[in-house]
Amino acid sequence: MLSEQLIEFWTERHLCVLSTVRADGTVHATPVGATLDVEAGLVRVICSGSSYKARAIRRLGEASVSVTQVDGRRWSSIEGRALVSDDPERVRDAERRYAKRYKEPRPNPQRVVLEITITKVLGNAG
C-alpha cells in the first residue's frame, strides 16, 4: 500500500493538514502533526478532546478523513476512517510517536488521539 519512499516521507518532520467533513457537508481543514504506523495500518493525530475535529468525529462515532502533507513536489494524502480515543495508554503511545517525529508535546490533560485506519494512499514522494 505504501512504497518505501512514501514511508520515509511520513517519517520526516512535515506538518500535515487534516480534512474532515462538517455536518453541513463543507470541509474543515486544519494543520496537525500526524504519525504513520505502517504495521497497524494507522495514522495518529493528537489533539485536545475539545477541538472541533475531535468533537465532530466523536459525534459521528467514526468519520471519513484525509491527512495530507506537502514538501515542494513531494506530497502524500492518506484517507481513512477516524475514531477518537481517550484511553490513557493509546494517548501515551500517540504522544511518544509524535515526540519521535516532531517534539515532545506540551502537557494537555484533555488530550485524545484520533486513530485513522488507512483505506487509501495517494502520493508522489520521489
Residue 18: which CATH number? 2.30.110.10
Q: What is the pLDDT confidence band of residue 125, given thresholds at 50, 70 and 90? A: confident
The mean pLDDT value for 24-31 works out to: 94
Q: Which residues pair with 82 in a beta bridge?
A: 63, 116
Considering the entire predicted model, what is its pTM?
0.94
Cβ neighbours for 56, distance < 8 A, ≥ 6 positions apart: 20, 22, 23, 28, 63
Q: Provide the pLDDT for residue 23.
A: 85
Mean pLDDT score, 11-17: 97
| 22: Cβ contacts below 8 Å, ≥ 6 apart | 28, 56
In a 3-state reduction of DSSP, which class is residue 34? coil
pLDDT at 30 over 90: yes
pLDDT of 126 over the 90 cut = no
- What are the C-alpha distances in Å from 114 to residues 3, 10, 67, 98, 122? 24, 17, 11, 12, 20
Please tell me the total count of domains within the chain.
1
- Give the mean model confidence (pLDDT) for residues 81-102: 98
Q: Which domain holds residue 41?
A: 4-124
pLDDT at residue 41 is higher than 80: yes
Work out the pLDDT band at 33, boundaries 50, 70, 90. very high
Element (H, E) at 3: none
pLDDT of residue 51 exceeding 90, the answer is yes
The pLDDT value recorded for residue 2 is: 85
